[in-house]
Chains A and B, each alone.
Chain A
């Protein structure tokens, strides 16, 4: 990925992304924004041959250029933010290894505060992914007698032949917990980190009331799942062509496209309806960042017909 932008001499001459911006911005000011966008939305990528190693890099840089041009087109009046978005969209395709000649190009959208997504670029999506599920683990630090727990608790089920843990549920927050005889517990179903922690504490209290010396050690969020809707349909077959390294789209197996983003390390499920599911995050900010990264890419595939 190092040579992403320097191995396609017939596409553009400059060697570093910083130089890229100048000739493209000049061209965007000369031509109408609509026409520029038009040019690229009618590009039919199905003629591309089988993607070999060389083609892959070429495609990546083609896409980087297209995304850039589209964004430039729509932001023709705002040069600064255009540059901003260029950086983020440039850095994204080559995100696996930032090239040595562009030390300053890190995605500037990493938020500092964990709660609100940054809206630093004026072209931010305005869509906030909703958290749907949080999976966390905690160590109760005492050996548990699962049969005893299942006998004395109303909300527990235990079927040792099927699974070696007690499945316990509470109503508020609506969550499910797997409690193992070693004292480890997994809590799923909460919609926020605080809810997950509160729920885990409630389960620990139930176990305490059942007579075990349960503690509450090493509470850790293991996975967070979020979802949102970009409100326009997406051409998945084109997306898989331009982002082949990251995408896997097999309509025979699953209707959605599986996009494995490298930075942050998140897996996105992208569907033709425009709904996006983001998973694999340890922190809420990773979900927001991943969505802000994918949104400009998806907008590039928004076509009128």
Chain B
């Protein structure tokens, strides 16, 4: 600040700004009179001459985080705490969030999307560290719409160039089952329904692996498969009192919600198990149905590799593919001695032995929904050049006649 004015005592113009300790003082150089000191307040005239530094030009903006970023970081941290994630996850998620928010793609989006961005960063971190967190869980914690979450997740993946590994089913089983109330001693649950967690997890994993081998998992949401598998595992560990309990009641007892596709997955799993049971020599005598096959799940799982080979014809719907026969019995899995014999069998021979065995295919191929297939473009349309003459009559069919126009005007459809 430039010194101005004159000293009131001696009238000299040489005023100096000096600091007495830390207190600013305006002092006359001639007589030492202190004109003003340590102004705590400024007068209006003084303020006018102050040069302001805009916040955007100061360094404060770079040092401080914006309020939006602070709020977002806090949300990410809260989410990590709620999900009881390890501390390292929190740091990674926060760093992803900060990086993402700086990008123009996320800086200017709606607040709703910014909230979801935090959840997406947590999800990506968990996936990269093999922590099985489902999108459903994050969506329910954030009260988010699934479609919006999906779009934010995919754009985050694209913008930051992150590689997000797939959800591991084995880990998902472990985590999902630990949230079941049936594995902890609980007064509300009748004794025959309680189950040991280790056994339940092991058997559920085996059933989930069976499901994934038989194409029940690819392309489907993972949680209903795990729920259905857990139900079958639980029933088979003690069939007596549990066979009469339906899936819905099981989910209520376990304290988890029943996802709608789980019933269908259950049906599909039971079909697979029944087909396998028909190949087990000591079960052939019995007439098994969907209820009773549950009792034998233990045996079926133990011999599942062998049974899968025998129960399902091994060709891959070789419709018109001549190379199919080369690939049958391709997988040299170690199992019972009956298998190597079959490897030598020609495909035609197998068909004779097994008769009508269903092929091992995804359910969408086994039960194709009837769909009107548009015919392949006919020769006439193939010869189209795009420059054909267009007749007037054809165009006129699309124009309204004057009576129609009058009628519409009267109806005031365009008001």
Contacts and interface: CB of A to CB of B under 8 A. Distances in A.
B136 interface: yes
Contacts of A251: 167, 217-222
B328 A304 contact: yes
A168 to B, nearest CB: 8
B388 A198 contact: yes
Nearest to B149: A253
Interface string A181-201: 000000000011111111001
B82 interface: no
B24 to A, nearest CB: 57
B182 to A, nearest CB: 25
A237 B218 contact: yes
Contacts of B414: 147, 150-151
Contacts of A191: 374, 377, 381
A193 B386 contact: yes
B309 interface: yes
Which of A74, A147, A194 is packed against the most chain B CB atoms within 10 Å? A194
Interface stretch (B39-47, B86-94, B287-295, B356-364): B356-364
B204 interface: no
Contacts of B379: none
A111 interface: no
Contacts of B385: 194
Contacts of A209: 395-396, 399
Interface string A34-56: 10011001100000001100001
Interface stretch (A12-20, A77-85, A227-235): A227-235
Contacts of B217: 237, 251
Nearest to B167: A252
Contacts of B381: 173, 191-192, 195
A248 B399 contact: no
B389 to A, nearest CB: 10
Interface stretch (A3-11, A97-105, A268-276, A289-297): A268-276
Interface stretch (B13-21, B226-234, B319-327): B319-327
B317 to A, nearest CB: 6
Given A130-B376, A197-B386, A303 B365 contact: no
B51 interface: no
B314 A304 contact: yes
Interface stretch (A21-29, A88-96, A152-160, A277-285): A152-160
A302 B390 contact: no
B136 A155 contact: no
A250 to B, nearest CB: 8
Contact of B332 (A42, A150, A237): A42
Nearest to B134: A252
B398 interface: yes
A206 B395 contact: yes
B213 interface: yes
Interface string B352-385: 0000000011101100000000101100011011
Contact of A273 (B222, B360, B362): B362
A304 B153 CA distance: 35
B215 A272 contact: yes
B303 interface: no
Nearest to A232: B316
Which of the four size classes fits the interface of chain B?
35 or more
Interface residues of A, number: 63
A100 B374 CA distance: 46
A256 interface: yes
A50 B400 contact: no
Contact of B361 (A192, A193, A233, A255): A233
Interface in B145-186: 146, 150, 153-154, 157, 163, 165-167
A109 interface: no
A94 B222 CA distance: 32
A34 B326 contact: yes
Nearest to B383: A194
Which of B130, B328, B397, B400 is packed against the most chain A CB atoms within 10 Å? B400
B333 interface: yes
A210 interface: yes
A166 to B, nearest CB: 12
Nearest to B388: A198
A202 interface: yes
B63 interface: no
A249 B218 CA distance: 10
A150 B413 CA distance: 10
A39 B411 CA distance: 75
A56 B217 CA distance: 25
Contact of A233 (B146, B150, B215, B394): B215
A291 B104 CA distance: 35
Nearest to B158: A248
Given A195-B381, A252-B134, A232 B360 contact: no
B405 interface: yes
A248 B163 CA distance: 9
A240 interface: yes
Contacts of B153: 250, 253
Interface in A238-261: 240-241, 244-245, 248-256
A71 to B, nearest CB: 12
B205 to A, nearest CB: 13
B384 A151 contact: no
A236 interface: yes
B253 interface: no
B386 A50 contact: no
Contacts of A147: 414
Interface of A: 33-34, 37-38, 41-42, 50-51, 56, 74, 130, 147, 150-155, 170, 172-173, 191-198, 201-202, 205-206, 209-210, 231-237, 240-241, 244-245, 248-256, 271-274, 302-305
13 contacts: A42-B331, A191-B381, A192-B377, A193-B386, A195-B384, A198-B386, A202-B390, A210-B399, A233-B362, A252-B222, A254-B150, A304-B328, A305-B213
Interface of B: 128-130, 134-136, 146, 150, 153-154, 157, 163, 165-167, 212-213, 215, 217-222, 308-309, 312, 314-321, 323, 326-333, 360-362, 364-365, 374, 376-377, 381-382, 384-388, 390, 394-400, 404-405, 408-409, 414
Given A233-B362, A251-B222, 8 more contacts: A56-B163, A151-B400, A191-B381, A233-B365, A234-B218, A237-B212, A240-B166, A272-B364
* Top 10 A-B pairs, shortest CB-CB distance: A197-B386, A194-B386, A255-B219, A194-B384, A272-B219, A272-B218, A42-B331, A304-B330, A232-B316, A252-B135
